[in-house]
Amino acid sequence: MAKFLVQKCGPLNGEVVISGAKNAVLPLMAAGILAEEECIIRDVPDLRDVMVMKEILRSLGTEVEEVEESVLRVQTRTVKTNEADYELVSKMRASFLIMGPLLARTGSAKVYSPGGCSIGKRPIDLHLKGFRALGAEVVIEDKYIEAKAGKDGLIGADIYLDFPSVGATENIMTAAVLAKGTTIIENAAKEPEIVDLANFLNKMGARIKGAGTDIIKIEGVEKLKGASHTVVPDRIEAGTYMLAAAITRGQILIKNIVPDHVKPITAKLRECGVRIEMTDEGMYVIADENPHMVATDIKTLPYPGFPTDIQSPFMAFLTTAEGESTVIETVFENRFMHVAELNRMGANIKTEGNKAVINGGKNLEGAQVIATDLRAGAAMVLAGLVAEGTTEIAEIYHIERGYEKFIEKFKALGANIFKIVS
Ligand code: EPZ
């Protein structure tokens, strides 16, 4: 089993270039199902999840090839089957994002129902509510979800999302682009990845307005054409490296970052005493001037609130900030599994329901810990950078799913991190 070994290192210094966003590239690739012509997607990160999405698209009959490093050609001349392969789809929850495009392109789709995961039940009721509102008949079999458009195809509708679900907004948007008439999504998710997908779809000839606000209007069109697009930078990867500078009291220049997309992280780090400057080169995160970082309070919310995906990495940093911090997780129901792992390293964190109280300023000790999800894995690496001795992190496949060149980028900043296979 592969593990990461992380040893205490001094302040991280240097620069890091942020990759294209995992949570943008996956819906963008799925949207390639919607057009017969070729789509070119640039800044595609080299991730296991991207590899899985490539295989799923190929199983449907889509041509997917890497024309050069980080550039994919995606072309769906015809859809060979509208039933996604169970083995492939069961490897990654985000595979469900092919449902909307498949339904729009062929009028039917049969996809393995994504289960929950360690951070929560991850229901898909809002996705199905959207498909039904567009006139599709949706049948839930034991492991599969099957959706079939009505005899006149999908019909535009007004859809209210009880929660601004990212995936549901993406699936409904990609289903509605070829529907007859207009679709309004109310209480839509506003994440930058939603805007990136809408921009790509509009380049393909879709007519989407309001992406990035809570009301998205989609006027259905007959057909979409090919387009080319560059994936938006990964704000969660960027936040992870901002925290790497903060927790090690170093100084890192972060390149290929959209400052607006990390505003909540910037604001909170400034409250703790980190200096953050935006320059033409990128974002300087300067934490080597103020060794006494102070506590703050975090509450995760849908965008533009504090991102749930940065909650665990930020908590790792808060264990080193003097005073009592609180973290409230409002997006997922079970996203504190990293707390027990951090406490094994000497942190003093107590949880009660969706609230964690961190009594910071303690020195951490290296320990054997596990990555309980993608972002918690990154949190354990951050903690390992400042813990005395060596920290051994198991279940690191989570991390490799979502962070491109993770080891290389950290080593280039001066981190002592190694991958071992035992
Ligand atoms: C996306 O997941 C991201 N994944 C997640 O990133 C991210 O944490 C999440 O958005 C929130 O920002 C991808 O984009 C591939 P949601 P998604 O639907 O779409 C409830 C990472 O680490 N909900 O916005 O699954 C749900 O239970 C991953 O990169 C319903 O109730 O998130 C949850 O509590 C982790 N019914 C909340 O909404 C539904 O039909 C947020 O889920 C759908 C969701």
Q: What is the pLDDT of residues 57-114, one digit of tens each?
A: 999 999 999 999 999 999 999 999 999 888 888 889 999 999 999 999 999 999 988 8
* pLDDT band for position 220 (cuts 50, 70, 90): very high
Residues facing residue 99 across a β-bridge: none
Lowest-confidence pick of 112-121, 175-184, 334-343: 112-121
pLDDT at 116: 74
- How much is the pLDDT for 243? 98
Would you say 69 and 36 are in contact if contact means Cβ atoms under 8 Å apart? Answer: no
Query: Ligand 1 pocket, 23 CB below 6 A?
Result: yes
pLDDT on residue 119: 87
Give the per-residue pLDDT at 132.
98
Measured from the Cα of 122, ligand 1's closest atom is: 27
> Looking at residue 364, what DSSP letter applies?
P
Residue nearest to atom 14 of ligand 1 (CA): 23
For the annotated catalytic residues, the residue numbers are: 117
Please give the residue that has the higher pLDDT: either 317 or 398.
Answer: 317
Q: Is the pLDDT of residue 194 over 90?
A: yes
* Nearest-angstrom CA–CA distance, 298 and 110: 40
Given this model, what pLDDT does residue 85 score? 82
Q: Say yes or no: CB of residue 332 within 6 Å of ligand 1.
A: yes
Please report, as a single letter, which amino acid is at residue 122: R
- Taking Cα atoms as reference points, which of 12, 19, 27 lies closest to residue 235? 19
Q: What is the mean pLDDT of residues 111-121?
A: 84
* Nearest residue by C-alpha to atom 26 in ligand 1: 122
pTM: 0.97
Helical H segments across 97-144, by residue range:
99-106, 125-133
Which of 165, 185, 372, 404 has most ligand 1 atoms within 8 Å of its beta carbon, as the pocket-test mutant?
A: 165
- Structure-block tokens of residue 128: 């199905």
26 lines ligand 1 (CB under 6 A): yes
Compute the distance from residue 233 Cα to the ligand 1 centre, in Å. 19
| Percent of the chain whose pLDDT exceeds 70 | 100
402 CB under 6 A from ligand 1? yes
Sheet with 283-286, edge to edge strand ranges: 13-17, 251-255, 283-286, 275-278
Q: What residues are paired with 7 via a beta bridge?
A: 390, 416
Least confident range from 138-142, 243-247, 273-277, 332-336: namely: 138-142
Mean pLDDT score, 270-296? 95
Residue 375 beta carbon below 6 angstroms from any ligand 1 atom: yes
pLDDT digits (tens, 9 = 90+) for 224-250: 999 999 999 999 999 999 999 999 999
Q: What mean pLDDT, rounded, does the chain reach?
A: 96
Q: Over pLDDT 90: what percentage of the chain?
A: 92
Question: What's the burial of 295, exposed, middle or buried (CB within 10 Å: 0-12/13-18/19+)?
Answer: middle
